Structure 1
């Protein structure tokens, strides 16, 4: 999977910058309720498309850390002037074992379905956030709309392309992907309070967020 993203980082970046995606990214960042001066980490940041939104919220005194396991993704992120500069750092690391602690918020977009043990990944993310900080997960999902059947087939294709080489066993890549996303969401629900669930894009994107509490460990 890492080899795939190394090869397709530029194409991935073009898709990530499509104009229609900006409102979804802004919604995910809004769910973190960031304040100026805070530190936010994006797990699996890819080419850093969310970094401008995150940096705007934390301001010049805050810090944005983009973490990804794929070196070419991070190199592509550093080529964009609006995704680099003071207060922005990129770190090559495994998002399931992120070497960060005591941060104010964590964002994970379109990554929960790629992990073999998504609940453990969410546990690690909650553990690195200070009490009162927030964690948000944005993921693709099937729509419940009655006219959505053709687009659900497209969703299956998206999952196959976005998780190349992943061990998605069973009848459907999409079903396995969705089980992983559901597991991540359940664990976030168990580990947080003040939870919110929102949908975007006609129900094809679901955003779950919550506040980390000492009582939810």
Structure 2
């Protein structure tokens, strides 16, 4: 089995390649989120106002086509579908089969016919048609390659589309920074958080316009809204 970081493969004692590390992180994320799939209620309730505010900033319209990155058990589906209506389309991707099982159960319970689930790596997912908006809540920072995932979302959007991101990080400033070693350790244990992936920097680098529009818990939780402008 490959070592977590640093790494050498314990079977061959050969240095791990970048692809080896990518695949190892992806597999750990699958295992972690499969494990938490039946215990997501607290996160769903605690972050609901933050998620709702992020969706508000997308300015969705009936008939819009929306991408959700790392949908988990589908906690955003009802609100998103309420905005885009029955003629819109929501495509939701996640790499955890157990999370997708819960999301599918939610869809079937409500009888939603315009919500499509895909079991795929968000950095590699391919889509036939562009989206009018995208959202990622508590998912980008656990991706094995944050920049690559953001680039894929960017390519998948119409010009003028917005991407709203809710995520967590160590405290960026202030007295709460003294707790950052514990925060990092907790995030890696709980969520397989990627310590090498700077979500805000990746978004600002890839998108034409980005702004941190809201922060909570001494800046540990934050919301970023980005926009893909018209070319030229």
Q: Which residue pairs with 1:77 in the alignment?
A: 103
Q: What is residue 197 of structure 1 aligned with on the other side? A: 212
- Tell whether the 8 Å contact from 2:141 to 2:199 is kept in structure 1 after alignment: yes
Give the unaligned 5+ runs of structure 2.
1-27
Q: Which has the higher helix share?
A: 1
CA distance in 2, matches of 1:109, 1:102: 20
Residue 144 of structure 1 and its aligned partner are, at CA, apart by: 4.9
Aligned-pair distance for 1:125? 0.5
The match for 1:34 is 60
Change in CA separation of 1:38 and 1:139 when aligned onto 2, cut-off 3 Å: same
**Pair 1:83–1:128, CA change in 2 (3 A):** farther
Give the aligned length: 201
- 1:38·1:104 contact (CA, 8 Å) conserved in 2? yes
In structure 1, runs of 5+ residues without a counterpart are 169-175
Q: TM-score, normalised by structure 1?
A: 0.81
Q: How does 1:125-136 map to 2 (within 5 A)?
A: 125-136=153-164
- State whether residues 28 and 207 of structure 1, in contact with CA within 8 Å, keep that contact through their aligned partners in structure 2: yes
**CA separation of 1:9/1:105 partners in 2, compared to 1, >3 Å: closer, same or farther?**
same
Structure 1 position 148 matched with structure 2 position 165: no
Contact 2:147 2:199 in 1 (8 A): no
Which residue pairs with 2:15 in the alignment? Answer: none
Larger deviation: 123-132 or 100-109? 100-109
Structure 1 or 2, whichever has the larger Rg, is 2
Cα RMSD over matched residues?
2.4
